[in-house]
Chains A and B, each alone.
Chain A
Amino acid sequence: MIFPSRDFKVLSGFSSDLEARGVLCSPEPGTPQGRAMLTFMASDSEEEVCDERTSLMSAESPPPRCCQEARQGLEDGENAAQWRSQDSEEDLDDADRYVCSGVPGQPLGLEEELTLKYGAKHVIMLFVPVTLCMIVVVATIKSVRFYTEKNGQLPYGAGREQSLQPAISLSIYTPFTEDTPSVGQRLLNSVLNTLIMISVIVAMTIFLVVLYKYRCYKFIHGWLIMSSLMLLFLFTYIYLGEVLKTYNVAMDYPTLFLTVWNFGAVGMVCIHWKGPLVLQQAYLIMISALMALVFIKYLPEWSAWVILGAISVYDLVAVLCPKGPLRMLVETAQERNEPIFPALIYSSAMVWTVGMAKLDPSSQGALQLPYDPEMEEDSYDSFGEPSYPEVFEPPLPGSPEGELEEEEERGVKLGLGDFIFYSVLVGKAAATGSGDWNTTLACFVAILIGLCLTLLLLAVFKKALPALPISITFGLIFYFSTDNLVRPFMDTLASHQLYI
């Protein structure tokens, strides 16, 4: 699921009255649900904002003045930041609320500049992690044989027991074998597998929504912690084992234990508590890649493709239909005015501390390392603060003086389910495309374009949107067409050394 943590407007003529507020809901990787949703929802703190805003300028004020005031406001960089710090972490980017709201048809200058700049930058901020995740998955698939071997050909060695566990757990979800003689039977089996998988996912999501509705936060957090424990320790151990086997590197158990323990412990701390943003992002990318590798290995071939298709349809339905579970989740969170499940969402937001011109000229335009408490506040807001009330602490200890102001960069958040399924698609293209790199690259470009379009739609519609459908559709189309049409053509050209 993809959503902005702030207003994410590209090419919007004038701000609507709805503020953007990021909200998340992403299934944890331990359960084989991975669907994505873009959420973008209206905030309730609009009323208070109105008062402040009207004190600055009225909605009917003529454009030049309001643009100028907006410019002022933005250069000082405060008022927005100031009461944003009092309010919830997910408070709106009021900076652009200042600008000429409700004056349609007038050139908006500064706001547009900012939103356009931010728009393209945030697209890239999502391209990079998605690309990195795909690179990790494709590199592993191409080099480590383990992930492309089918279950019946497990390699000898100690990895056998551990690697059987995910096999067993996943084969519960896909009980119908694909080793059938006829094509029709195989297709039927994969459709049945998909139905089972999707119904499991739907059931899990509804369970999650019910838990959330009845405020069983401890249970949810326990669940999330258990699944990230499994990913960070068990799957990392298996992965490391297979990589070492592939490259024939010996590692003794004490070193292995130390490595895996450190990796896992730091990962748990970064994801569920506080840590540098870059490290959190890196860990989230790694666990998405690990999960995607598990899916690639243990889902039967045709079932995987049908599941990918079905899950994008489900994502579309769950996020956009009024009765969809994800939409209900979002609305519940909105009513309670709190973020949902801060864990397992990738956030591209950055935090700057901007010094005010009057008081602190030395840090003007600072892009330096932000003041730690603020950064941690922001990062754990995004990522999984166990107890919700703490999320709303004012992040600035010195805010009464207004000396250092926090200006949170508008960011976009993408659910980890998205990463996982994008990587599954590209990984499968790499695994089954008969060693063909063209298919992999075509799927990669298709997914990036889909993501671009989705972000554009997000900016246009300003509401929760599913991130899977467009990208997965493009990816599937390009996979099948490149594998069957382009590959023979390019192979023939290459063998005759012709260039087009």
Chain B
Amino acid sequence: MTAAVFFGCAFIAFGPALALYIFTIATEPLRVIFLIIGAFFWLVSLLFSSLFWFMARTITDNKDGPIQKYLLILGVLVSVLIQEMFRFMYYKLLKKASEGLKSINPDETAPSMRLLAYVSGLGFGIMSGVFAFVNTLSDSLGPGTVGIHGDSPQFFLNSAFMTLVIILLHVFWGIIFFDGCEKKKWSALLVVLLTHLLVSALTFISPHYGINLVSTYIIMVLMGIWAFFVAGGSCRSLKFCLLCQDKDFLLFNQRSR
């Protein structure tokens, strides 16, 4: 607890997202706007999922017992479905918007669909991560002992890592999803939906953090690789980038000379 845990967990969970924001999005106003609209879409999807869960709970008259757990599980799965639906709707909106922009102004380079896929994924991810973790974070600032009743003392760390992986997953899912929509490859959409369901379902076994986290990270790495290739990367470009031999780097060096 206290400041060390707060800052540590905050930076674990949100550090990469913040870095991505600062380096790729903060400089361009249009991207910031699309990020916020993406966050808004996720928020609306959460609203609908909560509404569904609330209605389901009122229908079953708030009885305690296993039924609540089943309702919660159902709520989670429906929520994932609704999130992906809203991702699709956001894709449609962006498609219309960029067609509009292109028709009015063919010269101006409007953001490409790939970039918008990344931005929207990041928007979804940031909002999702923030909503999941911020209350826990603010509690970690106060006094207390974690796990005093027998729960795991790694509660905060686990939550932080889970939040991080969810944010990154949303980014990759966004890229893959939009690419699938563009190329009409509906299998990609299905895979995104299924992996999202899988990741959420894995969290049901929550006390066993090890399996949960490790498998989610593996899924994240796989999605990352897929998204990399979908976004136009290749082994060759990766090699050049890592060896600092890519075009941009070379041109930059020449300019500075």
In chain B, what residue has the closest Cβ to A486?
A: B50
Q: Contact: B76 with A127, CB < 8 Å?
A: no
In chain A, what residue has the closest Cβ to B109?
A: A113
A360 to chain B, nearest CB (A): 25
Q: Contact: B50 with A500, CB < 8 Å?
A: no
B146 to chain A, nearest CB (A): 13
- Determine the chain A residues whose CB is within 8 A of the CB of B33 once the complex forms: 120, 123-124, 452
Count residues on chain A whose CB falls below 8 Å from chain B CBs.
41
Q: Contact: A490 with B132, CB < 8 Å?
A: yes
Q: Does B193 contact A (CB under 8 A)?
A: no
Q: Does B120 contact A (CB under 8 A)?
A: no
Which of A458-497 touch B at CB < 8 Å?
A: 478, 481-482, 485-486, 488-494, 496-497
Q: Does B107 contact A (CB under 8 A)?
A: yes
Q: Contact: B127 with A500, CB < 8 Å?
A: no
Once bound together, how far apart are the Cα atoms of A442 and B107, in whole Å?
Answer: 37
Q: Contact: A437 with B132, CB < 8 Å?
A: no
Per DSSP, are chain B's interface residues mostly helix, strand or loop, or mixed? Answer: helix
CB 8 Å contact bits of B76-95 with A (1 = contact, 0 = none): 10011001000000000000
Once bound together, how far apart are the Cα atoms of A265 and B39, in whole Å?
Answer: 41
Q: Does B37 contact A (CB under 8 A)?
A: yes
Count residues on chain B whose CB falls below 8 Å from chain A CBs.
50
CB 8 Å contact bits of A432-459 with B (1 = contact, 0 = none): 0001111001100110110010000000
Stretch at the interface among A31-39, A104-112, A186-194, A229-237: A104-112
Q: Contact: A113 with B107, CB < 8 Å?
A: yes
Q: Contact: A449 with B37, CB < 8 Å?
A: yes
Q: Contact: A494 with B132, CB < 8 Å?
A: yes
Q: Contact: A452 with B101, CB < 8 Å?
A: no
Q: Does B43 contact A (CB under 8 A)?
A: yes
Q: Does B210 contact A (CB under 8 A)?
A: no
Q: Does B36 contact A (CB under 8 A)?
A: yes
Once bound together, how far apart are the Cα atoms of A449 and B158, in whole Å?
Answer: 33
Partner of A123 from the list B29, B106, B127, B200 (CB cut-off 8 Å) is: B29
Q: Contact: B36 with A500, CB < 8 Å?
A: no
Beyond the given A107-B104, A498-B203, please list 15 additional residue pairs across the A-B interface where CB-CB is below 8 A: A11-B104, A107-B105, A112-B105, A113-B108, A120-B29, A436-B135, A445-B43, A452-B37, A490-B131, A491-B135, A493-B72, A496-B206, A498-B200, A499-B162, A499-B203
**Interface residue ranges, B against A (CB under 8 Å):** 28-30, 32-33, 36-37, 39-40, 43, 46-47, 49-51, 53-54, 72, 75-76, 79-80, 83, 100-101, 104-108, 127-128, 130-132, 134-136, 138, 155, 158-159, 162-163, 166, 199-200, 203-204, 206
